Amino acid sequence: MYISKKEIQLLYADTDMMGVMYHANYLKWFELGRTQLIEDIGFSYVAMEEKGYFAPVYDVYCVYKKPVRYGDTAFVKTWVDSNDGLKTVYGYKIVNEEDMIYAEGTTTHIVVKKDNFRPVQFKKSFPEWFQKYEEIKK
Amino acid sequence: MYISKKEIQLLYADTDMMGVMYHANYLKWFELGRTQLIEDIGFSYVAMEEKGYFAPVYDVYCVYKKPVRYGDTAFVKTWVDSNDGLKTVYGYKIVNEEDMIYAEGTTTHIVVKKDNFRPVQFKKSFPEWFQKYEEIKK
Amino acid sequence: MYISKKEIQLLYADTDMMGVMYHANYLKWFELGRTQLIEDIGFSYVAMEEKGYFAPVYDVYCVYKKPVRYGDTAFVKTWVDSNDGLKTVYGYKIVNEEDMIYAEGTTTHIVVKKDNFRPVQFKKSFPEWFQKYEEIKK
Amino acid sequence: MYISKKEIQLLYADTDMMGVMYHANYLKWFELGRTQLIEDIGFSYVAMEEKGYFAPVYDVYCVYKKPVRYGDTAFVKTWVDSNDGLKTVYGYKIVNEEDMIYAEGTTTHIVVKKDNFRPVQFKKSFPEWFQKYEEIKK
């Protein structure tokens, strides 16, 4: 199992009047982690789009344990949770430098054609990428 | 059971290069719906903060059925899904004018003290508000 | 001179830890105002894109007089400040219900081809729209 | 004259349906650059807030030369443009790895008391910081 780790640029823009990071921004950090995982193993989401596909989010779950504050140091850890050929589930943890968990969650993705948003099989359209996920998944 | 309904201002800012609304923005629309529900039944989140409390999100789930596009008309429908005195779960549907579902989800909230983020009992700190939720919940 | 007026949905998401709306969000409200102005006079930015063009921002200026807070009521007022056939300058005021000014600014836009971002003449590509701007401008 | 340089985390979240980064996001990158400049010279915006002050944006200007795209590499370069004891003007360039300019701009900041947003003199409230700006400014 491979776990990617990427430091997050925490912006003042992402805080809210509770004095902490607004909860929807964690989903952007999941995106950051996912992109980093893909890069780490030698693939590219940009290349997927250039080939004519998108990988939209089908669903998302996030549980918030401890608020991230402006001035904190935070990382997103990302792995492939499951991968059935059609849907890929990524797992995430938002942690600090001592690996204390701020939040954790998952996103499920499908692959669709750019022009009509029709789902295709990830396994068939990107066989090498799918195979790599089989090797590194949980 | 009471269901609040509020039209969403869909911004170009909220689109992404897939040509649809970026998925994290749906969580902002959940916030919009939640605020509207609270207003509809005569309470105020601003007043809760002025009294010394926050109601942060404990967890969030969202499933995306059909992408919302710029130029679409979209509404957020919100209700109280459950309410146990400590945690309140809100349910949401993002729909168009014909009630077709774009996305649906839930958020769980706790009430905390502003100064230390320590959880308090919603039922004890806001008894009338809690009672109202008992009446209108699913 | 025609001035469009549109109420802004103020979100908790758009606040920051200063307890006020984060300054970059005012640019989204300028977008909201601009879109409303275009709709008010019978045109459509979506239709412009469908015809093969974008109208990106060339420059933006904003001066902040008084912070907008969550719970405030705010409107964006928008007009055509100047329009020379190539560049269109929109003027904006963010105001409350008594017309007190929170912020004001301008954005300059050009029209470009979607496929290569090459500028075209607004006057030539959208002659009726250009003509309407001549009538309503400051 | 000191110029700070910081790489920007470009997110898919920040793109729009033009296929490029939405213009308001450049203001978040200015914030990133400003924070980095302050860190580089040994001060801290977090510490300023802890001392009871905010440094809100008074005005902002940005001109967009070439769109930043997802997958690009971009940096924000930041310097002190002027500093009169009351107002500080920061200058910014958004550039790629070959120093090609995507956008450039300025923000003007004042220092205010946290509790009432009343302006104070930066020179008097933060004399060492002010002095450092005198040394490094343009």
Average pLDDT, chain B: 97
Average pLDDT, chain A: 97
Distance CA C33, CA B93 (A): 27
What sign does the CA torsion over A120, A123, A126, A127 have?
Answer: negative
Give, for all 138 residues of chain C, the pLDDT tens digit. Answer: 999 999 999 999 999 999 999 999 999 999 999 999 999 999 999 999 999 999 999 999 999 999 999 999 999 999 999 999 999 999 999 999 999 999 999 999 999 999 999 999 999 999 999 999 999 999
Distance CA C130, CA D16 (A): 25
Note whether C92 and C105 are within 8 A (CB).
yes
Amino acid identity of residue A136, one-letter, is: I
Nearest CB to C32 within list B8, B9, B32: B9
- Per-window interface: C 108-127 vs D, CB < 8 A: 117
Closest CA to A51 of A117, A104, A138, A126: A126
pLDDT tens-digit series, residues D122-132 = 999 999 999 99
DSSP 3-state of D23: coil
Amino acid identity of residue B113, one-letter, is: K
pLDDT in the model for residue D138:
93
Compute CA distances B40 → B2, B136, B138, whole Å. Answer: 10, 11, 16
Whether C16 is catalytic: yes
CA B4 to chain centre: 10
Mean pLDDT (whole number) for B16-34: 98
User: What percent of chain D is predicted at pLDDT more than 90?
Assistant: 100
Which CATH homologous superfamily contains domain D4-136? Hotdog Thioesterase (3.10.129.10)
Q: Record the pTM.
A: 0.98
What tokens does B126 get? 């806001």
pLDDT in the model for residue A66:
97
Residue B64 pLDDT grade (very low, low, confident, very high; cuts 50, 70, 90): very high
DSSP 3-state of D14: helix
What tokens does D6 get? 């910081």
What tokens does A1 get? 């199992």
Note whether A17 and C68 are within 8 A (CB).
no
The neighbours of chain A, by the rule of 3 or more Cβ pairs under 8 Å, are: B, C, D
CA B109 to chain centre: 10
pLDDT in the model for residue D116:
93
Please indicate whether, in this complex, the C-beta atoms of B9 and C12 are within 8 angstroms of each other. no
CA B30 to chain centre: 4
Mean pLDDT (whole number) for B132-136: 98
Compute CA distances A92 → A37, A77, A78, B39, D65, whole Å. Answer: 11, 5, 5, 35, 37
Distance CA B9, CA C4 (A): 16
Domain ranges, ordered by start, for chain A: 4-136
pLDDT in the model for residue D102:
98
pLDDT in the model for residue B82:
97
pLDDT tens-digit series, residues B81-107 = 999 999 999 999 999 999 999 999 999
pLDDT tens-digit series, residues A62-85 = 999 999 999 999 999 999 999 999
Residue D73 pLDDT grade (very low, low, confident, very high; cuts 50, 70, 90): very high
What sign does the CA torsion over D110, D114, D117, D119 have?
Answer: negative
Search chain A and give the residue with CA nearest C20: A17
Q: Does C1 touch chain A (CB under 8 A)?
A: no
CA angle A63, C10, B82 (to 5 degrees): 40
Nearest CB to D27 within list C18, C24, C56: C24
Distance CA A45, CA B40 (A): 43
pLDDT in the model for residue A4:
98
User: What percent of chain D is predicted at pLDDT more than 70?
Assistant: 100
Q: Does A48 touch chain D (CB under 8 A)?
A: no
Distance CA B111, CA B116 (A): 12
Radius of gyration over every alpha carbon of chain A, rounded to an integer in angstroms: 16
DSSP state at residue B21: B
DSSP 3-state of C17: coil
Please indicate whether, in this complex, the C-beta atoms of A71 and D8 are within 8 angstroms of each other. no
CA angle C125, C129, C134 (to 5 degrees): 115
Distance CA A134, CA A132 (A): 5
Compute CA distances C96 → C5, C66, D117, whole Å. Answer: 11, 11, 19
Give, for all 138 residues of chain A, the pLDDT tens digit. Answer: 999 999 999 999 999 999 999 999 999 999 999 999 999 999 999 999 999 999 999 999 999 999 999 999 999 999 999 999 999 999 999 999 999 999 999 999 999 999 999 999 999 999 999 999 999 999
First to last CA, chain B: 5
The minimum CA-CA distance between A71 and chain D, rounded to whole Å, is 7
Q: Which residues contact B50 (CB under 8 A, 6 or more apart)?
A: none
Closest CA to A44 of A137, A134, A128: A128
What number of helices (H) and strands (E) belong to chain B?
A: 4, 8
pLDDT in the model for residue D130:
98
Nearest CB to C28 within list B13, B32, B70: B13
